[in-house]
């Protein structure tokens, strides 16, 4: 494998790891929403959590789409 292949693989792995961390943040947002006594705040937190999930999925998809070396 060339240095470029190793770099692409490392990039893809980093992107996957980032997506996992973002999904952890999403879970925290939804947990906070469930505990919020304010309904409007809960809705906003759930909405933000959903947006974060979408971004994590897009990052993970881009990692899968990286061309091989």
Convert the pLDDT of each residue in 15-58 to its tens digit.
Answer: 999 999 999 999 999 999 999 999 999 999 999 999 999 999 99
Gap between the Cα atoms of 11 and 43, Å rounded: 35
Gap between the Cα atoms of 14 and 38, Å rounded: 37
Looking at residue 17, its pLDDT comes to 95
pTM value is 0.76
Gap between the Cα atoms of 34 and 16, Å rounded: 27
Could you give the number of structural domains in the chain? Answer: 1
Length reported for the chain: 69
pLDDT grade, residue 64 (50/70/90)? confident
Looking at residue 7, its pLDDT comes to 85
Domain residues for the domain of 22 are: 3-65
Gap between the Cα atoms of 57 and 41, Å rounded: 24
- Residue 68 phi/psi, 5° resolution? -70, 160
């Amino acid at each position: 494998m060339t240095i470029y292949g190793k770099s692409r693989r490392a990039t893809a792995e980093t992107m996957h790891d980032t997506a996992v961390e973002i999904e952890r943040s999403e879970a925290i947002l939804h947990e906070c929403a469930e505990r919020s006594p304010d309904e409007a705040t809960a809705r906003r937190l759930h909405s933000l959590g959903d947006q974060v999930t979408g971004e994590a999925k897009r990052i993970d998809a881009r990692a899968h789409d990286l061309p091989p070396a």
